[in-house]
Amino acid sequence: MIKPDNSGTDSAKHNAAMKQRKGHVDAKIERADEERGVAILLTGNGKGKSSSAFGMAMRSLGYGYKIGIIQFIKGKQLSGEEIFIREQHPEVYFQQMATGFTWDTQDRAGDIAAAEGTWAHAEKLLADASYHLVILDELTYMLSYKYLDEGRVLNALRNRPAEQSVVVTGRGGGEGLRDLVDTVSELQDIKHAFRAGVKARKGVDY
């Protein structure tokens, strides 16, 4: 068996590099001294937007924080996260777009009414400082389809309580939203099992 060599130049170089890196990171940590909630946009074509948002829900719940989740979802596919929240965390404010909404509907007026009805829940949460985290899952599509007024949405996000964090998921969403949020992560679709013929998996994809 080859033993790791801690005395060689590689190891010394590594240690020096790590020390320098730690210095940089420490300096950055010291500079980030502002305490406030953040707005996060998770976008792009790759998988992982909603599941990341639900990961933050789990983090907040772990600390006993009050959270709200609004899903502007397409169709009525039941998901593991919905089951988990409804059955094990009934205290979470959880709303989905009014039933009857589907992407293939030709009823634009009906879609707008459904989006606005759902947005009213979001607005309520965004005005309530007792919510530590608000997740607006798939909200971007409401903006791209112009089902919701962009100004109204951005205002509510901008004027939310200082300590509240908000996570928006979905592709696109527009420049206004990107400018407003503090953090934008774009999930890149490098490859996806679905394209190789693998069916969506329970507990992984929904």
Judge whether 81 and 138 are in contact, CB under 8 Å.
no
| Nearest distance in Å: CB 117, ligand ATP | 21
Residue nearer to ligand ATP on the CB measure, 66 or 101:
101
Backbone angles phi, psi at 147, to 5 degrees: -80, -25
Q: Is 50 in the site for Mg ion (CB under 5 A)?
A: yes
**Which residues form the interface with ligand ATP (CB under 6 A)?**
45-51, 169, 187, 189, 192, 194, 200, 205-206
Judge whether 150 and 175 are in contact, CB under 8 Å.
no
| Nearest distance in Å: CB 142, Mg ion | 13
| Nearest distance in Å: CB 26, Mg ion | 36
For residues 123 and 160, what is the distance between their CA atoms, to the nearest angstrom?
Answer: 9
Residue nearer to Mg ion on the CB measure, 42 or 67:
42
Residue nearer to ligand ATP on the CB measure, 51 or 96:
51
**Residue 160 binding partner per list ligand ATP, Mg ion, none, with a CB distance cut-off of 5 to 8 Å that depends on partner kind:** none
Judge whether 186 and 49 are in contact, CB under 8 Å.
no
Say which residues have a Cβ less than 8 Å from residue 171's Cβ, sequence separation at least 6: 43, 44, 45, 140, 141, 144
Q: Is 49 in the site for Mg ion (CB under 5 A)?
A: yes
Interface with Mg ion (CB under 5 A): 49-50
